Chain A
Amino acid sequence: MRGVSVIGIGETQFGELWDKSFRELGIEAGLRAIQEAKIAAENVDAIYVGNMSAGKFIDQEHVAALVADYSGLVDQHLPTVRVEGGGACSAIAIHQAAMSIASGVHDIVVVGGAEKMTDVGDVEANAILSSTTDQEWESVFGATFAGLYAMMARRHMFEHGTTREQLAAVAVKNHKNGSMNPNAQFQKEITIETVLQAPRVAEPLGVFDCAPLSDGAAAVVLCSADKARKFTDTPINLIGTGHATDFLAVHDRRDLTTMDATVIAGKRAFHAAGKTPIDVKVAEVHDNFTISEIMAVEDLRFVPKGKGGYATEDGETALNARISVNTSGGLKARGYPVGATGVAQAVEIVRQLRGEAGKRQVAGAEVGLTHTLGGTGATAVVHLFARGD
């Protein structure tokens, strides 16, 4: 199996982008990545698109064809695949694209992720996010997306002593990082007090414990490792991927304070890459809620189970601390156009490993990790990247 490298990246501004339609967003990110990779239309062998729910947000299915059409590559008649997987969809798309290259079927594949969430009102958008939960046995009984994560947070507080202040510390850190990211939806720092006083969404989570509704898109160009240097001097290699699923409903999970899908996906990725958590200095994890980041740093074995809140509070996951988590601002501050997430996280890691992250650069980063969740944790995808030699 061949190695896979990232030779180009692109992303749009993330936020409430009233002037941009879904098609404009997706194309903008894709074209930036292609231009950055300095490849021509004829070089592209396939397109993979991660999108959570264009069908519900903008009534549009068959998104793959839409993207292939509007990307200006229509005369290439490219095979295009739309990948669905809740919030993990574009991380899965990266994996699918990488497998197509590793197996020798394709040489160069563009992977994009996009979501347009603000054409519908807030209440409806939240209901659409809820569609990744168990419709028959969770949402019909009143379980909201935030409510399910809140219940995991409550149990985490009960079992491990995690506090609301520790949850808040995640948001404060990510907003601080976001203030250094010109593409982030929120570029203002916040305080612990702001988070604690915010209107309650589902206790113990308040408005500032939750990632926003956003529009945005990101894209990467993947290339077989043996050809990457034809296009770039700084190829970043995808050295390992782990993809795992777990029970759909939170109540069926083995341990309410652990996402087994993350644990297993992480182990698979590290095993494939021949690396361990200690090798990772920069990571983009799925902080759709503050509790999610706390659980992620534990489940990825950056800190012991139950210590995620304490570690965050003590600054262990701050920029250039022991491990820099969510230097982009995370989903919380950078924004959370769901379908774009996995690819956007990869874009940030690639930037970090290339040394192009400016004010939020992690010094000496050689191995980076992305972690993306689907639904309430029924899917987890972990990618490990490293500087190519």
Chain B
Amino acid sequence: MAIPRFWREIPSRYNLVASKCLNCAMVDFPPREVCTRCGRKSIGNMERVKLSGRGQVVTYSIVHDAPKEFEMMKPYVLAIVQMDEGVRMTSQIVDCENAEVKIGMRVETAFRRLGAEGEAGIIHYGYKFRPAA
């Protein structure tokens, strides 16, 4: 991924910066300029918030066939997590046996390496999930 593209999203990737609509309280991640629920009424009426990082697993899959960047992690658990703020996110679940992952499991975010542009390139960091403390 090109450097500026990754760098631009760092606040959301590192710190779960999301947006909250002051009109209808809908939380969107990543942050949006226009609320996904109330559209035009939200323009100029959105604020930045940070997600708590806590949520529960809504669905998951154990991925066996993966691109080169994720070779070392195979087989890994890919999951969609519903955060306590209502919005959903997609990432891996780590720090537990793949077989232990269940729909409904409580998780929290962890700061991990997502990948790198080869041996000489920039390293990408961001959120993954692990069983809640």
Residues of A within 8 A of B (CB): 123, 126-127, 130, 135-138, 140-144, 146-148, 150-155, 158, 199-205, 247, 249-252, 256
Report how far A85 CA is from B64 CA in the complex, Å: 27
Q: Would you give the 0/1 interface string for B95-112, flagging 1 where the beta carbon is closer than 8 Å to chain A?
A: 000000001000000000
- B67 nearest in chain A by CB position: A127
Cβ-defined partner of B90 (8 Å) among A123, A126, A137? A137
Cβ-defined partner of B59 (8 Å) among A126, A127, A144, A256? A256
| In contact, A140 and B59 (Cβ under 8 angstroms) | no
Q: Is B61 an interface residue (CB 8 A)?
A: yes
Cβ-defined partner of A150 (8 Å) among B61, B88, B127? B61
Q: Is B78 an interface residue (CB 8 A)?
A: yes
Report how far A249 CA is from B78 CA in the complex, Å: 14
CB-defined contacts of B19 to chain A, threshold 8 Å: none
| In contact, B68 and A123 (Cβ under 8 angstroms) | yes
B118 to chain A, nearest CB (A): 15
The 6 lowest CB-CB distance pairs between A and B, nearest first, are A150-B61, A251-B88, A155-B59, A141-B91, A203-B62, A151-B59
| In contact, A152 and B59 (Cβ under 8 angstroms) | yes
User: How many A-B pairs fall under 8 Å by CB?
Assistant: 103
Cβ-defined partner of A151 (8 Å) among B6, B65, B67, B79? B79
Task: Count B interface residues, CB 8 Å.
Answer: 36
CB-defined contacts of B114 to chain A, threshold 8 Å: 140-142
Q: Is B53 an interface residue (CB 8 A)?
A: no
CB-defined contacts of B91 to chain A, threshold 8 Å: 141-142
CB-defined contacts of A203 to chain B, threshold 8 Å: 61-64
Report how far A143 CA is from B91 CA in the complex, Å: 7
Report how far A150 CA is from B1 CA in the complex, Å: 25
CB-defined contacts of B68 to chain A, threshold 8 Å: 123
CB-defined contacts of A252 to chain B, threshold 8 Å: 36, 88
* Chain A to chain B contacts (Cβ below 8 Å), 15 pairs: A123-B68, A141-B114, A146-B63, A148-B90, A151-B60, A154-B59, A154-B103, A155-B58, A155-B103, A158-B59, A199-B64, A200-B75, A202-B65, A250-B90, A251-B90
Q: Is B56 an interface residue (CB 8 A)?
A: no
Interface centre among B36, B59, B73, B89 (most CB of A within 10 A): B59
Q: Would you give the 0/1 interface string for B65-81, flagging 1 where the beta carbon is closer than 8 Å to chain A?
A: 11110100101101110
B53 to chain A, nearest CB (A): 15
CB-defined contacts of B127 to chain A, threshold 8 Å: 141
Interface centre among A137, A147, A154, A249 (most CB of B within 10 A): A147
| In contact, A251 and B80 (Cβ under 8 angstroms) | yes
Q: Is the interface of B mostly helix, strand, loop or mixed?
A: strand
Report how far A137 CA is from B81 CA in the complex, Å: 13
| In contact, B78 and A201 (Cβ under 8 angstroms) | no
| In contact, A140 and B61 (Cβ under 8 angstroms) | no
| In contact, A250 and B80 (Cβ under 8 angstroms) | yes
CB-defined contacts of B64 to chain A, threshold 8 Å: 199-203
- B62 nearest in chain A by CB position: A203
| In contact, B1 and A140 (Cβ under 8 angstroms) | yes
| In contact, A200 and B62 (Cβ under 8 angstroms) | yes
| In contact, A154 and B60 (Cβ under 8 angstroms) | yes
| In contact, A202 and B1 (Cβ under 8 angstroms) | no
- A205 nearest in chain B by CB position: B61
Cβ-defined partner of A136 (8 Å) among B30, B73, B75? B30
B2 to chain A, nearest CB (A): 11
CB-defined contacts of A205 to chain B, threshold 8 Å: 61
Q: A144-B78, A150-B61, A200-B62 are in contact. List 6 more A-B contacts (CB 8 A).
A: A140-B124, A141-B127, A151-B60, A158-B103, A202-B61, A203-B61
Interface centre among A148, A151, A205, A247 (most CB of B within 10 A): A151
| In contact, A142 and B59 (Cβ under 8 angstroms) | no
